[in-house]
Amino acid sequence: MEGQGRIVGLLLVIFALVIILIGGLFLASGLKEGGLRVSGFLLGLAVVLILALPLLGGGVFVLIRGRSEARQFAQAAQEKKILNIVRTQGQVNISDLVLEMNLTRERVKGYIYDLVGKGLFTGYINWDDGVLYAREAAEMQTTKCPNCGGIREVVGKGIVKCPYCGSELFL
C-alpha cells in the first residue's frame, strides 16, 4: 500500500518520543521528591533510552525509506500514464504530453527512455517533429524506418536511430 512506510515510521518515532518523555518525567519527579537516588535515576534513564533509541532509529529509517518509495510510486504512476496515453492514441505530440502531465520535456524524455529500458514500450519518436508513435513489436522488426523508409542503425539497448530522418525507434 502506497505511503504505509511513512505512517509506520512516524508512529515509531512518536512512540519512542513518548517513552522518552514519560520515562524522563517519571525519573525527574522521583529524583526531585527524594525517593530516587542519582544511581537509580541513571539506571532508569539507561533503561528508557535502551527501549526508546532502537524505536527512534527504526522509525527514522522506515520514514526515510517510505519517502523514497513514495517517489518511486509517483514515477511509476507518471510512466504508466505516458504509456497509456501513447498506446491509446497511437501517436502523441511530446509537447502535448508535457502540457498534460505538467512535466518538463527532459523529464518526459527520461520517462520514455526508462519505459524502453524496462521493455514496456515499443515504437518510435521523431524528435524533430516532436511526435511519439506506439508500434507493436512485430511491426518494428524490419530494418526500414517507419517514418522515412531508410535503413536503421542500432544506437543503444532497445534503441535504433534512423540516420536519415533522425527518428529514434524503441524496440
Q: For 104-152, what is each residue's pLDDT tens digit?
A: 989 988 898 888 888 888 787 877 888 888 876 445 556 677 777 777 6
**Could you give the CA distance from residue 130 to residue 114 in angstroms, rounded to a whole number?**
18
Say if pTM beats, i.e. exceeds, 0.95. Answer: no
Sketch the domain layout of the chain as residue ranges: 4-73, 90-170
Q: For 21-55, what is each residue's pLDDT tens digit?
A: 999 888 888 888 888 888 888 888 899 889 999 99
What is the third-level CATH fold of 90-170? Arc Repressor Mutant, subunit A (1.10.10)
152 in Cβ contact with 145 (< 8 Å) = yes
45, 47, 50, 51: CA torsion to nearest 10: -110
Give kind and range of the element (H or E) at residue 51. Answer: helix 38-89
**Could you give the CA distance from residue 105 to residue 94 in angstroms, rounded to a whole number?**
7
